[in-house]
Copies of this chain bind each other. A is one copy, B any other.
Amino acid sequence: MSGKHTGSRKAGLSNDDIGPETRLELYRLQVEIRDCEKRANDLFFQNLIKGTSHLSLGQEAIAAGVAMAMQPGDKSFCTYRGHAHTLARGVPMEQVLGELMLRDVGLMRGKGGSMHLTSVEHGVMGSYAIIGAHLPIACGSAWRAQYLGQKDVSVCFFGDGTTNIGAFHEALNFAAIWKLPVVFICENNLYMEYTPIGDVTAVEHPAADRASAYGLERIVVDGNDADVVYRTAQAAFVKARDGGGPSLIECMTYRHSGHSRADPAKYRPEGELEKWLERDPVKIYRERLREFGISEAEITAIDAESKRKVEAATELCKASPPAPAELLTTDVYADGGWSWRN
């Protein structure tokens, strides 16, 4: 973990550029994502989540830090590992869990599933399940903003493994030459599905060590520290909004669970998870709050409210029926139907 923006700890409350309000919000986001993801895991083992699902346990600081730096109207482009980013933009838990459970209450009423969470209302412009595909798409959204003189920034999240596919390369060059207001956030959790990223990548930092190939600055940060992520993202957004073009930010992190629901993650070397659990972003942030003098009561209240929300959302989802059968053939085409003939 080298590069820019790494140092984050402030000596004390003085000179705190973030402030207690934002900090509490950053904490709340991380806790709620953590609790909701844990619940998703439980629901899977209760066979209430079918298909697949990819958790962000351990990676919450990135979702929270970036989302906090975003403004309304900014656009998120996520992957199948997108629950966290969707929640972080303010999408209600029941709509996320509901989609995972493929119920009518879900964001897409079960038509999309866990890998495609979308809530345009909250700026979540889709979650994409083909590796790399959404990087060019985010460029297009940024191009639209530039073209229309709109001031929103498009943010694109992806993993370390994604840096080795062709679309990554095309998108980065494209964004750079057109100076697009897009911010690429690489969540380097050290693994593609089961293969360590170092085994299949020619450089140590799969994103940052390639930034120069697109004339961009090399940025690697501690992705488990929400403050660091928040500050780094903020700087990138300011640059993008000011016409300074794209940024590529590599956030070092670790997923606590397997790649997807069914993966016990046995391929990890012994002690690796334990090492990273010590750097658990939620734990780190709880300590940070204390460091900045936030009261235990405030912290506990957030924890409790989060648990309450998860319970309420779960009940709501369990009570939700599946979508009506007619939904099968709706919204293939813009007229709302699926007709390919007369």
Q: A residues within 8 Å of B by Cβ? A: 164-170, 172-173, 176-177, 199-203, 209-210, 212-216
What's the nearest-Cβ distance from chain B to residue A222, in Å? 23
State the CA gap A176–B202 with chains docked (Å): 6
Copies held by the complex: 2
What's the nearest-Cβ distance from chain B to residue A250, in Å? 13
The 15 sampled A-B contact pairs (Cβ below 8 Å) are A164-B173, A165-B169, A165-B170, A166-B167, A166-B169, A168-B169, A172-B202, A176-B202, A177-B199, A177-B201, A202-B214, A203-B212, A203-B213, A209-B212, A212-B213
Given contacts A173-B200, A176-B202, A213-B213, 10 further A-B contacts (CB under 8 A): A164-B169, A164-B170, A164-B173, A166-B166, A166-B169, A173-B202, A177-B199, A202-B216, A209-B213, A210-B213
What's the nearest-Cβ distance from chain B to residue A160, in Å? 13
What's the nearest-Cβ distance from chain B to residue A247, in Å? 13
- Of B169, B172, B200, B212, which contacts A177 at CB under 8 A? B200
Closest B-chain residue to A209, C-beta based?
B213
Closest 7 CB pairs of A and B: A166-B166, A169-B169, A176-B202, A210-B213, A213-B213, A202-B215, A202-B214
State the CA gap A168–B166 with chains docked (Å): 8
Closest B-chain residue to A210, C-beta based?
B213
State the CA gap A201–B216 with chains docked (Å): 12
B166 touches A170 (CB 8 A): yes
A177 touches B202 (CB 8 A): yes
State the CA gap A172–B203 with chains docked (Å): 12
What's the nearest-Cβ distance from chain B to residue A106, in Å? 33
What's the nearest-Cβ distance from chain B to residue A59, in Å? 24
Q: In the assembled complex, which residues on chain B have CB atoms less than 8 Å from the CB atom of A202? A: 172-173, 176-177, 213-216
State the CA gap A169–B166 with chains docked (Å): 6
Q: In the assembled complex, which residues on chain B have CB atoms less than 8 Å from the CB atom of A166? A: 165-170
State the CA gap A173–B198 with chains docked (Å): 12
Q: In the assembled complex, which residues on chain B have CB atoms less than 8 Å from the CB atom of A200? A: 173, 177
What's the nearest-Cβ distance from chain B to residue A180, in Å? 12
Pick from A168, A170, A202, A210 the residue with the most CB of B within 10 Å.
A202
Closest B-chain residue to A245, C-beta based?
B202
Pick from A170, A210, A213, A215 the residue with the most CB of B within 10 Å.
A213
Q: In the assembled complex, which residues on chain B have CB atoms less than 8 Å from the CB atom of A170? A: 164-166, 169
State the CA gap A66–B51 with chains docked (Å): 53
Closest B-chain residue to A198, C-beta based?
B177
Closest B-chain residue to A202, C-beta based?
B176
What's the nearest-Cβ distance from chain B to residue A229, in Å? 24
State the CA gap A170–B176 with chains docked (Å): 19
Q: In the assembled complex, which residues on chain B have CB atoms less than 8 Å from the CB atom of A167? A: 166
- Of B165, B201, B209, B214, which contacts A203 at CB under 8 A? B214
State the CA gap A105–B166 with chains docked (Å): 39
